[in-house]
Amino acid sequence: MVSRLIQGLMGAAALCTASAGASAVNIDFGSQPGDLGPTATYNSGGLTVTATGYSDGFDHSAQTDLYGKNSGGDEQGLGLVADPSGENEIYWGNSRLGAFVELDVSALFGLVSSAQFFMGSTTGGAPSGEQWAVNGSNDAGCGWFCGSSRVTGFDEGPHDLFDFGTYKYYDFYSLGTGGNAAPGNVLLGGLVLTSSVPEPGSWAMMLLGFGAVGAAMRRKQRKLALTSAA
């Protein structure tokens, strides 16, 4: 009887542990509106990412001001003040690879098990709409050609932030309209982070479960001791 009770309590404690293992944290890049300067830091649920704007995919030192856009619908996210269209978005540089927004996610390592990103202001859809691309790298301001991996798309996602934990930096570009030199611009909408650190309430549940298991085992040991003494 006591043995079955202990087994049940251990199962409950294990369930608490499993349920405490992950929670979703959202970062909205439209939450800080207006001209943000070359860098901006975003915090949510104790998790931090830093964004930096670059005006040229070839010149890794050419920083430019970020712009937080908050116009409702999918017109919400992170773009660039230097957008020649005046829409303050991540723009295509016509005959050459242009501006990009870089995310530094290194502060998430050890705290987040996976991440997803979503875009904004993509219109038209594949194959003739506005297209975006993402590079992964371990060099700040890496740009297009030195990135180690790349994914592209026409939709707004969400999409997995590929090889998370491998790359410190992710660079977000526009590929123009239809994946060619026609002008086009997009926004980096936000991130959905899966936290690997339990919340305070979950810790309390875990401790309660393990405490109950410990108490039951101590009672069983005392009973066995009394039985042996008799």
Domain ranges of the chain: 2-20+199-229, 23-195
Q: Which parts of 65-181 fold into alpha helices (H)?
A: none
Name the pTM for this structure: 0.77
- With bands split at pLDDT 50, 70 and 90, how would you rate the model's confidence at 98? confident
Q: How many CB atoms lie within 10 A of CB 99?
A: 25
Architecture of the domain delimited by 23-195? Sandwich (2.60)
Buried b / exposed e across 108-120, counting CB within 10 Å, b at 16+? Answer: beeebeebbbbbb
Q: Over the stretch 150-162, which tens digit does the pLDDT of each residue have?
A: 899 999 999 999 9
Dihedral over Cα of 222, 224, 229, 230: its sign: positive
- Residue 13: pLDDT band with limits 50, 70, 90: very low
Taking the C-alpha atoms of residue 54 and residue 61, their distance in angstroms, rounded to an integer, is 8
